[in-house]
Chain A
């Protein structure tokens, strides 16, 4: 039990961060507005949580201009994918210890 808990990643221990990672796992990238719509969160909320994930190097941020409007894209890094997969596995084990 102890070492399962170790795999529970504190960086994902928040609904918004969990959501951001989930979206980025199944999409090549997501832009700011897409995340905002999907998660139903405020600008500031998304900004601070993406920053936290970026600090952990779990996501990569690409800023560019589309039709002269600034556009921010988020991409999951290989390290982020690995960490998130481990996190999900740990969650599943906690729920279903027999498997």
Chain B
């Protein structure tokens, strides 16, 4: 009977340590959905490219003339839509999960999580604008992947799960993508689409799925 008390003590220590330093409510399902949005967005972008048959995507001088700027704004529109949909979905799902776990969605840990995520991401966003400014378009896609990956790695200290590996994977294919300029769309689809779906599925399977046996 004594031992049971000590077990409870250890369990209590563990929950307090993780609850005070890690944000638990990030939803795996939102990863899957974000990945799907990204794939749909990439498919739309691909179709859009095909409506400009005179345009060669693999030509590195893409997006420099009038036709290009038109295409560019449509691309940007798709990207913003995908981003907005992913953000809104994950915000809603995280809010729901936080409510279920009885965790405050806006607590010191989630604030730190967000700050650590935002710094590399905003840096990356500004850096991409600079790339656009100098017309180095081929490196925009790799740069977004690399900075997004770094943001994930930086944020991973404040949440549970394997988000660090999603970050590493994104940094890696971002670096690989630098060697295949012109294929940015495919790397985007892989990094933001496929990787998120795989990651979300693993997370959902591990943490979210209602399991009959309450393991651990």
Contact = CB atoms under 8 A, between A and B. Distances in A.
Interface of A: 15, 18-19, 22-23, 25-27, 30, 34, 37-39, 88, 91-92, 94-95
Q: Chain A interface mostly helix, strand, loop or mixed?
A: helix
A26 B112 CA distance: 14
7 contacts: A22-B12, A22-B16, A22-B17, A26-B17, A37-B104, A88-B13, A91-B6
Given A26-B21, A34-B108, A94-B3, A39 B9 contact: no
B107 interface: yes
Contact of B9 (A18, A23, A27, A38): A18
Contact of B17 (A23, A37, A39, A91): A23
A38 B22 CA distance: 12
Nearest to A33: B108
Q: Chain B interface mostly helix, strand, loop or mixed?
A: helix
Given A19-B12, A37-B107, A88-B10, A95 B17 contact: no
A22 B15 CA distance: 9
A30 B17 CA distance: 12
A88 B12 CA distance: 11
A77 to B, nearest CB: 18
Contacts of A18: 9, 12-13, 16
B20 A23 contact: yes
B12 A38 contact: no
A23 B21 CA distance: 8
Interface in B62-111: 104, 107-108
B116 to A, nearest CB: 14
Contacts of A88: 10, 13
Given A34-B107, A95-B6, 6 more contacts: A18-B9, A22-B14, A22-B20, A37-B104, A38-B19, A94-B3
A34 B6 CA distance: 25
Contacts of B20: 22-23, 26-27, 30, 34, 38
